[in-house]
Amino acid sequence: MHIRTRSLVFGGILIAISIVLTRFASIRVNFGAVEGIRIGFGTFPIIFAGFCFGPLIGALVGAFSDILGYILSPGGPYMPHFTLSSALYGMIPGFFAMASYLSERSRILGGILVSQLFVGLLLTPFFLTTLFGIPWKFLIIPRLVSTPVQIIAYFYIFQVLRRSSFANELLFRECAR
């Protein structure tokens, strides 16, 4: 597989944006010494990378966002489980972007929906419960509110970017079809 320099550069930019949005522009709720809930838009650049550059670059952007973000701003012990979660945020939309039998709108909505429901609503709370013993009910209730909001917001932001002539020329020329 050939990875273009342009894809790597935009991947690096999306990593930086994700780190800033996740680590420095999010609301965090701690349970003891462990961050249990984070409200923000840090996963959007990862999902965006998956759509535009495919599942491999999406997964790499997600993994590097988590690892570099942890190095810059650790919030407890490093757990590779969350690096996997972050990588899946980019990989799942990347596979949806490749589903040519779906309309563009269905690919976008499907990728956002599946990644948010599987990773954000199920996998991350599962990891927090099994690793740190945080009760499931404390994790799932806020996510039942934030997940639909994020799905709608991410879909809307993606549509706005898609309609912008500047973003269309700069970014979407690279998007996987």
Pairing of strands 27-31, 34-39: antiparallel
**Beta bridge mates, 28:** 38
Total domain count, the chain: 1
Q: Which structural domain range is residue 124 located in?
A: 5-174
CATH classification of the domain holding 102: 1.10.1760.20
pTM score > 0.75 for this model? Answer: yes
If pLDDT is split at 50, 70 and 90, which confidence band does 168 have?
Answer: low
Closest CA to 127 of 83, 64, 75: 83
pLDDT digits (tens, 9 = 90+) for 69-104: 999 988 778 899 999 999 999 999 999 999 989 998
Which region among 4-8, 9-13, 27-31, 84-88 has the lowest average model confidence (pLDDT)? 27-31
